């Protein structure tokens, strides 16, 4: 397909190759390291759930026992398989005994890694079968009910109370929403455990728990039957428990998950070594079960200038694409992120936004691009804000975006009311309908503002990616080249949860998930 922006395909190939080299370099690090959260995820996939008498999740209890004994380099799968052989118990039964203080799995007699792996493989396949059944159920719903047309109308609920979230989510679906994102309570990303059970209190959002996922999934299935289309559920697979939440999402049939290691490093100060390792396992899970991941490049423009730093967004999209390739994620599950964040007072800002969005679509034509609304320059003037959102909606339909987080005219004032959400959905539906095929009809002036802007941003992104390849991603982040935020390689939250693997380490889920096995 001929580029409307007249961007150089050789430049795109060059940028993609630099990004692939960056991702492969990181994969070498990932392959020889594990983390406490990765090992807790293995336990959750083996069926371990619940809490002890002081409400510590059992996966945490077991991994803390393994880590304290110096056994983490061998991996939780080994210790659980060994314990099954030595006790004759199932993983959940073993976990409950550990939680009650009746068993230390690191003090049992040990077998070889091969024997331990053979012991847990029936449970591994049982787990994968359950996840595949959820994927099949999603496909059945979509085939029977259908779904909204793209861009999917994507809205948030954030009351803090999962039961109130259900009320608002159902209302939004009836108003026309296609995706409901349950915003996490403030700072949950910094908790090194996943809370247990349903929750009714949260600040700025609702706790991400497996039970809350189950409650919301059931509610959206109910309202989907009512409105006659499948309603997708989104939550956050990020933070200190990134892969655990991905596993919970797979088990409870979430459809979209925000998932980006660089976001956690820059904006939550999570140690880069830990979160890069965790991202890999989380994306293998996401790829396996058909979830669309959303990357977080849009956030760069909240801490950096959208005009000057646009190339960092494009560069990061290339890197996120290549990380996804290594996790065996199909292109249609790559929700690469960007945002409409130009200063609205900038002359021709709309043209620059359009250039960026069309370029993203041309470079990543099969990706499920996630487009984020204006936030940085929302002032509390609801009338101007509604117009800013309208221009954002116009760029989205023009450039063929896939997932559209709708802007709210009350952004920067309050958590959206149901009526705010309705007005945002109405705004988007009006513009999407009236300009549905504008992208097919309009071409751009040769060497005009739009073409030159896209070409410049791509060229700068290619140059940046060449620097990242030369310096390494860790060093690039230390230098503050993404989002204008610097983070140290050996700093941030969670560094003590990273370790090198030993020669008996195994994680049976990664190879099986990457090959699509049951």
List residues with catalytic annotation: 263, 298, 370
Bridge-based pairing state of the strands 33-35 and 498-500: antiparallel
Which value, to the nearest 10 degrees, does the dihedral of the CA atoms of residues 69, 120, 276, 189 take? -80
CA-CA distance, 363 to 472, in Å (whole number)? 23
CA-CA distance, 232 to 67, in Å (whole number)? 38
CA-CA distance, 275 to 36, in Å (whole number)? 11
Asked if 338 and 305 touch (Cβ cutoff 8 Å), the reply is no
Asked if 152 and 178 touch (Cβ cutoff 8 Å), the reply is yes
Asked if 81 and 124 touch (Cβ cutoff 8 Å), the reply is no
Length of the chain: 518
CA-CA distance, 180 to 251, in Å (whole number)? 18
Task: Name the 3-class secondary structure at 264.
Answer: helix
Task: Name the 3-class secondary structure at 370.
Answer: strand
Asked if 255 and 232 touch (Cβ cutoff 8 Å), the reply is yes
Examine residue 218 and say whether the peptide bond preceding it is cis (omega within 30 degrees of 0).
Answer: no
């Amino acid at each position: 397909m001929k580029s409307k922006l007249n961007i150089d395909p050789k430049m795109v190939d060059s940028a993609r190759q630099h990004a692939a080299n960056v991702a492969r370099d990181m994969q070498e690090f990932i392959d020889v390291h594990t983390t406490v959260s990765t090992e807790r995820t293995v336990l959750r996939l083996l069926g371990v759930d619940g809490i002890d008498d002081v409400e510590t999740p059992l996966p945490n209890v077991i991994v803390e026992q393994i880590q304290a004994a110096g056994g983490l380099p061998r991996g939780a799968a080994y210790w659980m398989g060994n314990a099954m052989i030595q006790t004759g118990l199932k993983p959940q039964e073993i976990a409950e005994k550990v939680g009650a203080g009746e068993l230390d799995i690191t003090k049992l007699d040990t077998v070889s890694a091969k024997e331990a792996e053979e012991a847990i493989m029936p449970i591994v396949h049982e787990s994968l079968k359950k996840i595949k059944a959820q994927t099949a159920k999603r496909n059945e719903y979509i085939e029977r009910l259908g779904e909204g047309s793209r861009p999917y109308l994507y809205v948030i609920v954030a009351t803090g109370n999962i039961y109130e979230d259900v009320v608002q989510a159902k209302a939004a679906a009836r108003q026309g929403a296609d995706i409901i994102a349950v915003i996490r309570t403030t700072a949950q990303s910094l908790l090194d455990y996943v809370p247990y059970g349903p929750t009714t209190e949260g600040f700025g959002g609702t706790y991400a728990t497996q039970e809350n996922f189950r409650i919301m999934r059931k509610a959206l299935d109910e309202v989907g039957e009512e409105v006659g289309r499948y309603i997708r559920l989104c939550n956050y697979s990020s933070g200190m428990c990134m892969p655990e939440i991905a596993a919970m999402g797979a088990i409870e049939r979430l459809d979209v998950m925000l998932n980006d290691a660089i976001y956690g490093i820059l904006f939550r100060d999570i140690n880069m070594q830990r979160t890069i390792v965790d991202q890999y396992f989380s994306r293998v899970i996401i790829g396996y079960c058909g979830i669309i991941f959303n990357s977080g490049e849009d956030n760069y423009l909240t801490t950096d200038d959208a005009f000057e730093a646009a190339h960092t967004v494009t560069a990061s999209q290339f890197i996120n694409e290549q990380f996804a390739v290594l996790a065996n994620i199909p292109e249609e599950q790559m929700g690469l992120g960007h945002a409409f964040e130009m200063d609205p007072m900038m002359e021709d800002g709309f043209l620059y936004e359009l250039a960026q969005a069309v370029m993203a679509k041309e470079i990543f034509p099969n990706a499920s691009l996630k487009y984020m609304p204006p936030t940085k320059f929302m002032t509390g003037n609801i009338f101007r804000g509604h117009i800013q959102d309208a221009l954002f909606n116009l760029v989205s339909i023009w450039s063929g975006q896939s997932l559209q987080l709708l802007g709210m005219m009350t952004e920067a004032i309050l958590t959206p009311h149901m009526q705010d959400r309705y007005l945002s959905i109405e705004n988007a539906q009006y513009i999407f309908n009236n300009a549905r095929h504008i992208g097919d009809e309009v071409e751009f002036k040769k060497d005009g503002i739009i073409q030159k802007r896209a070409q410049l941003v791509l060229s700068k992104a290619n140059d940046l990616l060449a620097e990242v390849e030369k310096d390494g991603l860790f060093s690039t982040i230390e230098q503050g080249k993404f989002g204008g935020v610097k983070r140290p390689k050996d700093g941030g939250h969670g560094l003590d949860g990273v370790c090198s693997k030993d020669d008996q380490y195994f994680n049976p889920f990664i190879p099986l998930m990457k090959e699509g096995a049951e």
